[in-house]
Each structure stands twice: as structure tokens, then as C-alpha cells.
Chain A
Amino acid sequence: MADRSTTTSVGHSIARLEGRDKVTGRTDYIYNLRLPSMLHAKACRSPISHGRIRAIDTGAALAMPGVRHVVTGEDVKAVLPEPYYGPAFHDQPILALDKVRHFGEPVAVVLADDPHIAESAAQIIEVDYQELPGVYDEIEALRGQVIVHEELKPAGTFADLKHLAGRRDTNLALDYHLRHGDTDRAFAQAEHVFDHIFSTQQTMHAAFEPIVALADMRDGRLTIYSSTQSPSFVRFEIARLLGWPESHVRVKTAHLGGGFGAKVYVKAEALAMALSLIARRPVRVALTMEEQFYTITKHANTVRIRSAVDKDGRITGRKCEVWWNGGAYADIGPRVAQKSGFSAAGPYDIENVDIDSFALYTNRPPAGALRGFGIPQLVWAYESHTDIIAGELGIDPLAFRKRNILRNGRPQAVGSIVEDAEFEAVLDDVARRMNWRGPFDKGSGTLLRGRGIAIGFKASISPPPPSPIVSVQADGSCIVHCSTVDMGQGSDTAMAQIAAEVLNIALDSIKIVHPDTDVTPYDMSTLGSRSTFHMGHAVRLAAQDARGKLDAMASAAGLPEGANTPLADLFVKTFGMRAGTIVGAANYMPEYAPPNYETGQTPKVTPFWMIGAAGAEVEVDTQTGQFRITRLVNVCDAGKAINPAVVETQISGAAVMQLGFTMTENMIIEDGQLTNPSLADYKIPGFFDLPDAMENGFIEAEQHNGPFGAKGVGESGTFGVSPAIANAIADAVGVRITRLPITAEAVFRALRAKAGNPLGDA
């Protein structure tokens, strides 16, 4: 089984290692974990979006038979004097203190042996609030009439946030500015100037395994079992809250039932820890689907984008202002404003670019990372805008993009030279698949057809480096210890393929150990499509390290080079028996330079670029605004795929998810209340929401510094979908939708407005 027979693993569509468990229902999700003598926690949540807590009456809940504890923010504060957490700001209390800042914020928790008892008791906790006016819109938040946080408390981890410490009377959690060239001059000399505003709505992840954490605190040691994407960060943050060495906090995870960014950084873990500390028993905090709506979401945003264009149809200048609706707690929102903000001008070669990107606090549920980290919200704006320009100049949308597209060797607006970024090839492939230059049936009568394209890009998140361990056992089998979390993206399989390839051993003799901070070395987090590139690279180096040691063993044993002795025999020759372990280790630190605060410029913003483009064909009923997506093509630059089938599934799954964000998903707040925190009223895509025809693909390319030429692709499939659909609708019926979601009603209203017969307000 473990012989070094020639194996080729990388580049093949190998079925996922965990497939058997998944189809037999045996996968070990943390949501299914029960600990002996554990208590169930259920939260009492705020029914208002902004208010002072005057009093909490826990008496009736505590009197309910079976209730063990009722815990409030003050109780947490009694055991943890500074009970605030967050990756960018220490702004989020474990349970609300003094104030609530969003609908659904946890205010108190009941602990009971029976979850039903905990739930009933949580409903009879009486909280007296003094309601305050709320702010829900990012532009209003900038005006600062309602202040969400009295004082800003940056966490200190990010250099560009430090200057915000102690700032008062502002909702601005980060302002990022990019200055490239002389934009004012470009606009003054422009032949044409375009100016548009676009916006997106608040949506959420709806991972099917809800967020869950179990904490078991005993004898100065804590174990947390969590469906987290960031075990190392959870350990860091929980140890900080406790004032403990990180070695005393153990964070274990398993397969995740989806993540999509919802499970990065701390989510339920701090609460579970505090409750276990108070109750001195293991505690399970398992959110419901409804509670996920109150926990973490995707930023709504508003973008104003202006372009200066010369007489030849070249974009000479762009100014972008982006306002991100971060909700009540910053989570990782300030990083979204900066790391994604710098790309707001799009994948175009523009000499003069100004970008101002603002992260804002509001009284909405917190926003953080969601598949694309802000990029889809930006592509929505710049690719709608770009299409309008092409239309007004009478240039074919594909030709206009190709005239302006970034090419390898040219600097992006952030000041970094673009490498291994196949923008044009991706666009061309979409066009080819759509037969763009061929005839297109535009429909007739009340059923009109149109088509559109769009392209987006993203930088990867770089340091700190992952450091996996690849150990070869005495029988020649192999164990990989790495802290990449497999949440469905297939990373276990990819890492095993890489180790198998380097060690030249059979894939089924490799085991991937799931993240456990006592056992698997540090990794920042599984996010931002970084794992294949970063961890994949590090696993490759660690496997090479092990291989080097095996080769040294072979030569010490006097075996001729290239003898290809079975590994088990090599161990026997070296140690006299089938015993021992050979450990390979490595760090992988790609090149990266942080941006300058004043100009936003950096010579190396990312180790690789992600690129995704989409093409859509639609059919619109002009009498109702109803439209059908008859075809959706999605193409990405995946570098060289480690596992082509898994890559294709990632692209397709990302596109399906983005269809939901484009057509139906929308968190609606009315009078300070979230009206639709349920899959009944917040509609995610099902079988009938798929386009009539759907095609996903990637172009053959090579990422020179990637493991086996690969790069990340988990988010790229989201980029182009929304604007491609809006552009297709504009092509079909000549109306432009500028806000997501694109509903039939929005199209109908636009059609009526165009006909000079607008509908009244709904």
C-alpha cells in the first residue's frame, strides 16, 4: 500500500477523501458533538437595534426547574474584567454590556441540562431597555448623528488602525485612501466623464452547519471544540481574554458544514468559554439558523464611481468612493475596506486612480468576511459602470474591456506589478463559450433577450506563514498535520495529493489530521482562497523536507541513488526494525509588503491574483419585469488545478451562491427589526433558481510561485455574476439596475420609469 510505486496525484480529479463518510452520514461535524455532563446554552436576544440596558430581571428564568445558571454581561465581567473581543477592534462584548447595538444581540444566557428548558427560560428573561435612535445606512452613519460606539478600541494587531485608538463621536472604523497618478488632471482633460452610484444589500452566509462551539474548562486548562475556520486565531484570542499562555487553550475542529467566511475569527467561542468558566461544566453554544442572521453577515455597501475616458475609449482616470456597512461590531470589516478597497477601480490599466474606502459602524448585525471579502460588491459597481460607458460610447462591451484591461507586467493602481494574471484569456474564454461574436436572438414582442459580461479580480491575503508537519511512518504511510480547515472546499484531498506527489506514495496511505491546536501547527485561518496556495506550498516544502531525510537515510544505508527501495525496508535498514518516524517541516512565507498609509501604495500587495469572469444571457418579460437567466458562463484563472473536478465544483458553487445574492437574498430591517431571519423569508437558491444552462470552467495557466503552479479559486466564481446579469438585462430592455438584489419588481419599476410612467412607492 505504501510503496513508492510511481504515483501521479496532482492534476487529477480524485474523489474527495472523506466522500464515504459524507454519503453515509457519518461525518464528524462539531454540531453533532456532545460532551459528558455538558450544559446547553440559549441566549435571550435584543428585540431592538439600539438602546441602553436599564435592568435585567432573571428571576423567573432562574426559578424554572432545570435551569442551572442565568448569565448576563455583568456576570461575565465579574470573571473576565475586559470581556471584549474582535480581530480588528476589541469592540464586541461577550454578552451586551450597558448597551445593545443591533437587533438579535445576545443579552443574557440560560444554561440548562435540557436545551428545551434553556430555550423556554431564555424567553422569560425581562430586559428593560431605553431605546435609542438607530442608524442602518452607511451614508447616514458617516454623518454621525447616531453614534454606535462611544470610543474606538483598535485591537493593536493592524498597524493602520492604531491611529484610531480613543477616537470618539465617529462611526468610522477605517478610512483607506489610494492615490495613483494625477486624477484631477485626467478628469480635467477627459473627453468623456461618467459618474454613477451603485449599492448592494446586506446578506448572510447561511452555512448549513450552524455556528457552534463547546467549551470544557477545568483545572486551568480549556478545550474548545468549534466549527471554526480559524482555530489558531481562536486560541490566540481566547488566551488573551483569559490572560493565559496559548498552550493552555486547545481548539479542535472537524469537517465544517460550510463556512463561507462566517466561521472566521471568534464567533461562539468566547461565549462558550465564559459560560464554562462560570458554570464549571462543559457548555455547548449551538446557534440556530435564525441566530446566524444576528451573528455575522456580508457588508451592504454604496459605491460612487467616476471615470475619465479619452476619445479613443481609453479610461484615463477613475475615482471611487466606497462606504461599507459594517454593522454594530467591526469584526474583520476594516480589512475588507482596505484589502478589497484598493481594487475598487477594477482590473483595468488606468494611469490615474483615487480610491477612498470607509468602514462604518451601523446598528445592523455585524458584517465580516463572506466569499469574496467585499470584492463582489465592488465588481457589481465597476462592471456595471464599465458597461454603461461602453454602451454610451457605442463600443462593444467586450472590446471596450479588452482595450482597457490590465496586462501582465503593468502596475495595478495599488502600485504592484501584475504577474500571472490572465485577465484577457479569461475574458476571451467567456466570449468564446458565449459565441459573443456570433448572431444573438434579441427576442421580440414582450419577451426580449440580452446578454452581458463582467470580470473581477482579487488579491490574496498573505502573511503570516503556515507551518505544517509531514511525517512518514515506519511502514511508509504518511500523516499530514496542518491547520487548514476543510469546510467543503476539498482541502484535505488537495493537501494529500500534494504530499503524495512529493513523496511518491499512494494517496490512500496519507492521513490528514484535522486542526487541533495542541497537535497541528499554527495557521492564520482558512479564508480568502489562500489555503491551496499558502498551505499547499508549505505542505509541499514539508514533504520535500521529509523526502530529503529519507534520501539521506538511503545513502547512509549504502543504497544506490534511485534504488527506489520501499520505505518500510528503508526504516528496517536504518533502525533495525520497522520503527521510527521521519518528520518533515516547513514554513512558507510569500512576498508581501503592506500599503503606505497616505498613498495606499505597495510594491507587492499579493502573492497571486484571483480572476473570475461571467457571461449571462437573460430573457425579460417587459409586461411584468420577470426575467429568466437562460445561460450563465463562469470562467476563472485557477493557475494549474491540483484537482480539476474540485476546482470546477468550487467555481460552480460560488456562482450559485452569488446568484442568491443577486436575485433573492436580502436582510430587511424595518423599524429597527430584522423582518426575515429565516430561510422561509430569506430565500437562498434551490434547484429552480439555477439558470437554464450553466457552464463553469477555468483556463490553463501557471502561477509561477504556486505549488505545482496552482492558485486559489474558492471565491473567483462569485465575481462576475451580478453585473453580468444586470448588463444582460440592460442589453435586453435598456434599463439599468443599480442596486442589488435584482428583483422582477426592480426591473418592472425601471421599465415603467423608462416608459415615462413610473410606479408609486411600494
Chain B
Amino acid sequence: MTGRRRTIQFTLNGQPVAAEIGVHQNLTELLQDRFGLFGARESCGQGLCGCCTVLVDGQAITGCLRLAVLVDGSDVRTIEGLSDGETLSPEQEAFIESGAFQCGYCTPGFILMTRKLLDENPDPSDDDIKHYLSGNLCRCGAYPEILNAVKLAGRKRAALT
């Protein structure tokens, strides 16, 4: 089970990196164990909740289902890459201002999906938002606040451009 290992190279939040990883390990483990990034985190482990959302080559994927070796050569973005920690992104600000979380475990996934959604559709309707975010779950049930946060993030982004 420890089996084969491979060294891969990819871009992580804008920086070129390399890591050795077991061929059976998933992307969440790669980010956590090799890079200490815990924003993508495991909950259901089955691709159902979206807590482990990561952007790979611009696509939102679930880290728990993606083998780590497959990101070799890819551009990987995580919640940690969304801001420098000092200045927050408009999506992050909007989630705080709208109170769009309770425990926060699902929040990085929702924020990355919001970023993707607004990149594709700067002015989404309620229905667009629900559809786009329907693959992410929040056990604290912060959905009404998340809906508001996405709309607020859209307005914040519009004001910036």
C-alpha cells in the first residue's frame, strides 16, 4: 500500500513546486502533508460535500477524488492563494460581511466556487448561484447567507473594475 512513489512538478498558488508523493494519495493529502495547506480539507471523502475544493487549471475539482500524481504539470490554486492574508479578495470580504459561515469548515470550498462562478458570470441570478453551488454542502446550513455573500461579492468585483 505504501507502493510506488513519484515526483511531480506543478504550480501551486503561482509558485513552481515539486513533491514526492505516493501514487495512491489524493490531492488533499498532497496539499496537507507536503505543503501544510489545510484550506482544502476532507469531510465526506466521496466527492459529495465540496470541502476539499481546489482549482486545477482553472477547473474546480474535489481534492479527495483527484489522485495527486495527476496534477503533475498543472496549475493548482487553493484558498490560501486567493489573497496574501493581509488584503482579502472580494469574495472573502463578502463572506465575512454577510456572515456566510458558522463553523467555517465548508467555507474555502464555497469561496473558490464563488470566485469561479463570478469569473464566468459576473451578475448571476439566485437560480444561477444555487445551480453553480449545488455541489457544495454546508452542514451549518448557512445557505441563505452564502447566497447573499455571492451577490455581494459580485457587486464588490463590479466596483473594482
Contact = CB atoms under 8 A, between A and B. Distances in A.
Contacts of B1: 64, 66, 114, 116-117, 119-120
A116 B21 CA distance: 13
Nearest to B88: A23
Contacts of B92: 23-24
Interface centre among A18, A66, A256, A649 (most CB of B within 10 A): A649
B24 A116 contact: yes
A679 B46 contact: yes
Nearest to A258: B103
B43 A19 contact: no
A25 B134 contact: no
A624 interface: no
A209 B43 contact: yes
B125 to A, nearest CB: 13
Interface in A65-86: 65-66
B39 A24 contact: yes
Contacts of B79: 23-25
Interface residues on A, range: 35 or more
Given A649-B142, A686-B137, A208 B22 contact: no
A757 interface: no
Interface string B35-71: 0011111111110110100000000000000000000
B101 A22 contact: yes
A257 B105 contact: yes
Contact of B80 (A18, A25, A288, A688): A25
B103 A646 contact: no
Contacts, number: 173
A255 B49 contact: no
Contacts of A116: 1-2, 22, 24-25
Contact of B85 (A24, A117, A257, A690): A24
A22 to B, nearest CB: 3
Interface in B126-158: 129-130, 133-134, 136-145, 147
B97 A685 contact: no
Contact of A489 (B40, B45, B102): B102
A116 B51 CA distance: 21
Contact of B99 (A15, A27, A255): A15
Nearest to A685: B141
B88 A694 contact: no
A650 B140 CA distance: 8
Q: A-side binding surface: helix, strand, loop or mixed?
A: loop
Contact of A23 (B2, B46, B96): B96
Contacts of B45: 288-290
Nearest to B48: A679
A592 interface: no
Contacts of B24: 116
A24 B103 contact: no
A132 to B, nearest CB: 32
Contacts of B142: 649, 652-653
Interface string B94-121: 0111010111111110010000000000
A13 to B, nearest CB: 8
A528 B137 CA distance: 25
B145 to A, nearest CB: 6
Nearest to B105: A257
B98 to A, nearest CB: 9
B40 to A, nearest CB: 7
A645 B99 contact: yes
Nearest to A120: B1
Nearest to B91: A23
A16 interface: yes
A239 interface: no
A487 B103 contact: yes
B115 to A, nearest CB: 12
B32 interface: yes
Interface in A648-704: 649-650, 652-657, 678-680, 684-688, 690, 694, 696
B83 interface: yes
Contacts of A23: 79, 88, 92, 95-96, 101, 104, 107-108, 111
Interface in B1-17: 1-2
Contacts of A488: 101-104, 140
B139 A206 contact: yes
A31 interface: yes
A664 to B, nearest CB: 12
A694 B82 CA distance: 32
Contacts of A288: 45
A32 B134 contact: no
Contacts of B51: 208
Contacts of B39: 24-26
Given A208-B43, A687-B143, A25 B78 contact: yes
Interface centre among A23, A117, A208, A260 (most CB of B within 10 A): A23
A487 to B, nearest CB: 6
Contacts of B140: 208, 258, 488, 653, 657
Contacts of A688: 130, 134
B102 A679 contact: no
A616 B40 CA distance: 37
A13 B145 CA distance: 14
Interface in A282-328: 288-290
B123 to A, nearest CB: 19
B96 A15 contact: yes
A285 B32 CA distance: 17
A108 B126 CA distance: 49
Q: Which of A25, A31, A655 has the most CB of B within 10 A?
A: A25
Interface in A1-38: 13, 15-16, 18-27, 29, 31-32
Given A24-B83, A116-B2, A289 B99 contact: no
Contacts of A684: 137, 139
A707 interface: no
A625 interface: no
B134 to A, nearest CB: 5
B46 A678 contact: yes
A490 interface: yes
A32 B105 contact: no
Contacts of A208: 43, 49, 51, 103, 105-106, 137-140
Contacts of B104: 18, 21-23, 27, 255, 257, 488
A210 interface: yes
A67 to B, nearest CB: 10
A206 B139 CA distance: 7
Contacts of B38: 25-26, 29, 32
A469 B141 CA distance: 33
Contacts of B107: 22-23, 25
10 smallest beta-carbon distances between A and B, as pairs: A25-B39, A656-B141, A488-B103, A22-B104, A257-B105, A488-B102, A25-B79, A653-B141, A23-B92, A208-B105
Given A24-B83, A25-B107, A210-B43, 17 more contacts: A25-B37, A26-B38, A31-B42, A32-B38, A66-B1, A116-B25, A207-B103, A208-B106, A209-B43, A258-B105, A289-B46, A657-B140, A679-B48, A684-B137, A686-B136, A687-B133, A694-B144
14 contacts: A16-B99, A19-B101, A23-B95, A26-B38, A116-B25, A256-B103, A288-B45, A488-B103, A649-B145, A653-B142, A656-B141, A685-B137, A685-B141, A694-B144
Interface of B: 1-2, 22, 24-25, 32, 37-46, 48-49, 51, 78-80, 82-83, 85, 88, 92, 95-97, 99, 101-108, 111, 129-130, 133-134, 136-145, 147
